[in-house]
Structure formats: structure tokens, C-alpha cells
Structure 1
């Protein structure tokens, strides 16, 4: 019988957290103020969405409960930790006063509030570099897989991916012109949110023996999931609350950020969200190895989430 999506997400998170707890005990040694700040942010109650994408692009969801020994698939767990490190670094830096200037993240004080700005910057730097180091530790795979994985993560998180999206987002706050807003919004979110999500899916897929035949569909699906994730985030920033979101709502409007509700209105934003759900599902429906409860159920789960 197919495994329900809720069980898949729970099993995936448990597998990742088990690896995370055991592996980071040695990884973040010796203990310093920097390692304390890194672990504070890494352990701050995240949903582990991107590591879950990595794991489920490698494993079939029905196999997840059987995978008790993470050493057998060490490389895919290293990849999942790498994307979580990159994602956490981006959150630390996003929250800084020079960026989004937020005091709360995941219902807790942000890293620069808990420690200080300099420590937060260095903790983010640490997690950024650490993610690429983790990919270099792949086991039982060839050098081409290591090379490809480093390039995948760089495309997602680097100067033409997540970082460029963040830069475009900041620049757009200072641009009052309405000209080209639709294409700019798409560009920002494809890079700022979507690029790392796509990298997460591709990293897990790259470690499979059949990775080449699945890569094009995985990439298209991941891009759609990234778009869906951001549209939903934009809606939640308007309609959500601090208790559910774990971060301050309404900041996008106050900062004058370009979002789907601000550009199209809430009704159209929700229509675009629903269309994205349908498109994502259609992309994997006819691919045997992807036609499972994870890939089919994920779009609706993202659209209906509250945080």
C-alpha cells in the first residue's frame, strides 16, 4: 500500500534528525562561540523541508521506514545536511539588520539577537563553507558525482542563484517603477527561493544510478515547487500570524517588497498558487519512478501549509 504523505514527511525528518544529531556532535568540534551560534540556528525547530527533498529524490517513500542504518547511504545524508547548512546560513543573514531586520525566527530570537551581529555573520559564513566541505566527503561514489553535486549546490545557492535573488529583492525595494514588475517578481523568486529547492531535489537524484533519465522532470518539478513555495509564503505573510509562522508577519508589505499579493492581489495570487499545484502534479504523474505519494502529495501540502 502507498505510504501517506504525512508518514513520509515524518519518516524522512526522523531519518535526517537522527543523522544530524549523531554527525554534528563531532562535526562542530571544538566548541566555540561560532559553533554555538551555528548549532543554535540549525537546531531552531526547522521543518527540514530541503533535506526531506534530498532524501525523497533518492529513496522511494515506501522504503523510508526500512532504512535504519544511515551509514549505508552516507552520501545522501551528507547532501541533505549540506542543503540544511546552506538554508540556515541564508536565514541567519536574511534576518540581519542590513537585510530583512527580523528579531524572530522559528519562534525564537534570531541569531544576531541571541548572540550579536558579528557572530551571526561569521556563523552564516561557517555554514556556507561547511556545506561544500560536506559534499567532498561522499562515500562509495565516483568523482563525477562529487563534482556534479558541488556544481548543483553552487548553482542553487551561489552568485547566480539564491544570492542573486536576494540582491534583486533588495534592489526592487528601492525601485518605485511599475515597469517590468511581473518578470522581476518571477526572477526574484526563481533564484531566491526556487534555486535552492531545485538543488535539493537534484542532489538526491544525482546519487541514483538512474539519475540521468529522471533529471529533466525532477528539475521542472522542483522549479514548480519553488514557485509554489514562494507564492504560499507571500500569502502567509499577509494572512498568517506570529504563533503559526514563527516569524513576524506583514514585514513584506512594510518593507515594500514585491510579492504575488502586492502585484496581483490576493485572489489572483491564490489562483496562481492553485494552478501551480496542478502543474506540479501533472509533471510527475506519467513518470513511473516519480508517480508516488511524495511527489504527488507534496504540492497540495505546500499550498495548504500554515508556516
Structure 2
């Protein structure tokens, strides 16, 4: 018998994948080398964790449907797909020779290995632009909803969020700072990893009629989840293996990247992970609309994951 959180996770992924398979047939048509590369990376597995954040921030797990309902809820699925496209574009570009130079992603050859470097760049560009197109299709009675959703995704993925974090990471790798490494590490990961995670939660919440009263705690919780996700990622890069991770382990240390185990040591990194887990749970415990199996179970799931 699956635990409640596991059931929610499974149902959420099934809902998203069902919408994804039906909608992308039209979205990535006609079939070209670029659309083939986009779909190769989008279909290369993955946990769909960011789309799941969108869905559960909207549905709140207590009223998560058993099947997709496009008549009433198409907008939330569009937002979830927009986030997955942005995330996949970032992975394609991160793996490029000029960036992290990796040849394995989700247990498969990376996009530039499977196709070629130019095709991978253009596939990433395509997924980036499609993300904002998807948000433009959201149906809302409030004229500010689409504008707000576009701004939320841009804040998470753009020049003040994920892209800036990636740039700071590259700069630190090439020219390691001699001081204030703690704040630099925090800045990199708040933007590079945390910003898109926060955007995922905020997008789902923004589509709810009661979004304003939940927005602040959702934002704080999402920031903590982003931190927990990154600390766990850094630990897995040291202790994980290729089979579990689906990507090459140990690359951060070889590249001289600034990480939690590298800066603080493994014991302290694991202590930080546990503290972040407890803080995330405490943030939603006293909030009736968020005190449910998904929001309480997610921190433990992230902290205990193997990939």
C-alpha cells in the first residue's frame, strides 16, 4: 500500500504525463530535427517534479483529480508544461561543452551527443520561447493573471533568477573568490536551483482565487525546498552513482564548483539538510490550506531521494 504522499506524487505525475503526451503532439508539429530534439529531451524520463509543484500548489492534494479535466483546469496544465519546458531547456544548455560538458542526462546521451551541438542549442532556445507562449494561452477572467504568470516565470528562469545563478556559478568556477564563499554559495543556489522551484509553486498558486492570502508562505516554503533540493543534490554528487543519478557523479568536485560538502564538509552539509527539512515542514504546519500530505511529505521525499 502506497503512503499518501507517494500516491499524490504518482497521481500528479500521471496527470501531467497524460496532458503532456496529448498536447505536445500538436505543439511540436510538424516533425523536424528541432522538434525531434526537443521531444527527445522532454521525454528522456525525469521525475516531473517542477510540474508536480505547479499542480499541487493549485489543487492542494486534497482535491487532486484522478484524470485531467481540460474544461475547467487547462490553464494549470499549461503552466506546468511551461515550467517543464523551461527546466528541460536549462538542462540541454547546462550539458553543452561550453557549460558543464556532460554526455549523460537522465541515463541517456545528452541532447548535443544524441544530435549535435547546434541542434541542442536551438532545441533549448525553442523550449525557452515555447514556455512563455504556453503561458499566453492561459484562460483567466482576471486580466492581470497572464501578466503575473509571465513575470513569475521570468523571475524564476531569467536574468535575475536561474540564468544569473548559472553565470555566477561559471564565474566562481573560473575565478574562485577568496572570501565570503558562504554568501556566494547561497546566492548561486538560490538563483540557479531555487528560483525556478519557487516560480513553479507560485505559478500554481497564482491560478487560485485565494492566491494572495497564500502567496507569502508559499514563497517562503518554496525557497526552503529549493535550498533542500540543492544541498541534497550536492551530497548526491559525492555519494551517488551513475545508475541512480542518471548523470555523471563527482563532476562538481572535479570542476572545482562551490558546493555545500566542498565548503562545509559532508557532516555539516547533512546537518544543514536536516535543518532545512524541518524548517520547510514547520512553515506549512500551521497553515490550514497547506497542512496536507503533499506539503508535509515533500521535504522528506527530497531529502531522502537517490537521484
Partner residue in 1 for 2:131:
131
Question: Which deviates the most, 57-66 or 257-266?
Answer: 57-66
CA apart distance, 1:66 = 3.7
Where 2:38 maps in the other structure, the secondary structure is helix
Check conservation: 2:231, 2:273, Cα contact below 8 A: yes
Partner residue in 1 for 2:102:
102
Partner residue in 2 for 1:186:
186
Check conservation: 2:93, 2:99, Cα contact below 8 A: yes
Question: Which deviates the most, 137-146 or 219-228?
Answer: 137-146
Partner residue in 2 for 1:152:
152
Partner residue in 2 for 1:46:
46
User: How has the CA–CA distance of structure 1 residues 113 and 75 changed in structure 2, closer, same or farther, with 3 Å as cutoff?
Assistant: same
Counterparts of 1:299 and 1:28, CA distance in 2 = 34
Where 1:159 maps in the other structure, the secondary structure is coil
CA apart distance, 1:143 = 2.2
Verify: 1:237 aligned to 2:241, yes or no: no
TM-score, scaled relative to structure 1:
0.98
Question: Which structure 2 segments of 5+ residues have no match?
Answer: none
Check conservation: 1:3, 1:61, Cα contact below 8 A: no
Partner residue in 2 for 1:13:
13
Partner residue in 2 for 1:212:
212
Where 1:64 maps in the other structure, the secondary structure is coil
Q: How many residues matched?
A: 306
Partner residue in 2 for 1:61:
61
Check conservation: 1:58, 1:207, Cα contact below 8 A: yes
Verify: 1:275 aligned to 2:275, yes or no: yes
Where 2:13 maps in the other structure, the secondary structure is helix
CA apart distance, 1:69 = 2.1
CA apart distance, 1:71 = 3.3
Counterparts of 2:218 and 2:3, CA distance in 1 = 20
CA apart distance, 1:98 = 0.2
Where 1:231 maps in the other structure, the secondary structure is helix
CA apart distance, 1:61 = 1.0
Check conservation: 1:81, 1:131, Cα contact below 8 A: yes
Q: Deviations over 1:269-290 (max 9, x none)?
A: 0000000000000000000000
Where 2:152 maps in the other structure, the secondary structure is helix
Q: CA RMSD in A?
A: 1.2
Counterparts of 1:176 and 1:146, CA distance in 2 = 40
Q: Deviations over 1:33-60 (max 9, x none)?
A: 0000000000000100000000000002
Counterparts of 1:199 and 1:177, CA distance in 2 = 29
Where 2:62 maps in the other structure, the secondary structure is helix
Question: Which deviates the most, 171-180 or 215-224?
Answer: 171-180
Check conservation: 2:155, 2:161, Cα contact below 8 A: yes
Question: Which structure 1 segments of 5+ residues have no match?
Answer: none
Counterparts of 2:67 and 2:288, CA distance in 1 = 22
User: How has the CA–CA distance of structure 1 residues 3 and 146 changed in structure 2, closer, same or farther, with 3 Å as cutoff?
Assistant: farther
